[in-house]
Structure formats: C-alpha cells, structure tokens
C-alpha cells in the first residue's frame, strides 16, 4: 500500500513539470518564487502616528530602494526616510541601491490614528532574482490596527492575501 502511495507521488511529480508552463529557468535550477513570497511584506503600528513596515527578502533576491512607495489610508503617510541600501552600478541607470535579506522602515503618519482604528498600508516594490529575472512593480497590502496612546507597539501583521499583478 505504501508503494502504491509512493507510485502515486512519483506519478504526480512526473506530471508536475508539464503543468506550470514556465516556472523555472531550466532543468537543474531552483524554481523561482512568486514576488509576494520572494518579498514578504509585514507591518505594525509602533504608536498612533508611526507605522513600521518590513520586507523579508528571500535569499538570492533583492529590492530596489528607489522603487519603494508607501500609502496609508485613511490616515495619509508622511515622508519616509529609507535606510541606505547596497550601492550597485547599473550601466543604464547609474548607481542604484538595493536591499537584501530584510529591510525595516518607519512610515510616519500625517496625524495620529485613533486607538483601534484600522489602517490599510499599501506598499509598491520592485525587485529581481540573482538568477537573472526581474518582477514588475508589485503592489502589496496589509491591514493593521492603531494601538492606544502609551500602549505597546502592535504585532506585525503579514500581508495576508498576496495581491499580485493580475490576481
């Protein structure tokens, strides 16, 4: 019976490469991650007027610093100070900065949110994989709750339902 299960599994594995039309560069190379998994967004409210946003970046992937943009609703976001990235020379765009592993940034709000108020954090990012592919600008969204003034920072919330380009 176990061998039948194994045969079924092998059957599924054998069929697998034929199903996703193009999911990897070529045989022997690791399959590429969808952008929402390569660049995992999470956010939390540090206090009623500050949101902390975090990207966890998978090994072998990087984000462009200048391609990050944030919007918060209903309390609008102020100007974000982006931490310096690693400088990389680009033949067409000149020096560009990239982030790897993780990047954490603070998004100041233009006014304090009310305790318990829901905030929608929208983040646009654009990145690439070292194997030689780039993803189009990727919008992601996460909902967080404003903590009471003086209370501890809220917990990180992962972008739950990844919102890709056409899904």
Partner 1 sequence: MKRRTILVGGAVAGLSALAAGVAVFHSTSTAQRDGAALLDVVLPDPEGHDQALAQWRGKVLVVNFWATWCAPCRQEMPQFVAAQAALGSKGIQFVGIAVDQVAKVTEFSEQIGLNYPVLIGGFGAIELSRALGNSLSALPFTVIVDRHGRVAQRHLGPLVQPELDRVLHGLLKRA
Closest CB 134 distance from partner 1, rounded Å: 4
Q: What separation in angstroms does the CA of 101 have from each of 113, 119, 164?
A: 30, 26, 21
Identity of the residue, 5 or 81, whose beta carbon is nearer to partner 1 in the bound complex? 5
Identity of the residue, 5 or 59, whose beta carbon is nearer to partner 1 in the bound complex? 5
Compose the 74-93 pattern: x for residues touching partner 1 by CB under 8 A, - for all others. ----------------xxxx
**Binding of partner 1 at residue 134 (CB under 8 A)?**
yes
Three-state DSSP string of 2-66: HHHHHHHHHHHHHHHHHCCCCCCCCCCCCCCCCHHHHEEEEEEEEECCEEEEEEEECCCEEEEHH
Consecutive H or E run containing 82:
none
Identity of the residue, 81 or 167, whose beta carbon is nearer to partner 1 in the bound complex? 167
**Binding of partner 1 at residue 21 (CB under 8 A)?**
yes
Residues forming a β-bridge with 124: 69, 139
| Number of chain residues interacting with partner 1 (CB under 8 A) | 38
**Binding of partner 1 at residue 1 (CB under 8 A)?**
yes
Q: Is residue 140 within 8 Å of 70, Cβ to Cβ?
A: no
Q: What residues from 95 to 124 belong to the interface with partner 1 (CB under 8 A)?
A: none
Can you tell me which of 28, 74, 116, 132 binds partner 1, judged by CB under 8 A?
132
């Amino acid at each position: 019976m176990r061998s039948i299960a194994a045969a079924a599994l092998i059957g599924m594995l054998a069929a697998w490469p034929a199903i996703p039309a193009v999911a990897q560069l070529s045989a022997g190379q690791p399959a590429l991650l969808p952008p929402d998994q390569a660049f995992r967004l999470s956010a939390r409210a540090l206090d009623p007027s500050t949101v902390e946003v975090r990207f966890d970046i998978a090994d072998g992937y990087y984000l462009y610093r200048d391609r990050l943009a944030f919007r918060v609703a209903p309390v609008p976001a102020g100007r974000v100070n982006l931490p310096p990235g690693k400088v990389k020379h680009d033949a067409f765009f000149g020096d560009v900065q990239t982030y790897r592993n993780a990047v954490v940034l603070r998004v100041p709000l233009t006014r304090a949110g009310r305790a318990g108020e829901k905030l929608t954090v929208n983040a646009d990012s654009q990145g690439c994989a070292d194997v030689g592919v780039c993803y189009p600008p990727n919008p992601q969204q996460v909902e967080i709750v404003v903590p009471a003034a003086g209370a501890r920072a809220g917990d990180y919330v992962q972008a739950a339902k990844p919102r890709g380009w056409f899904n």
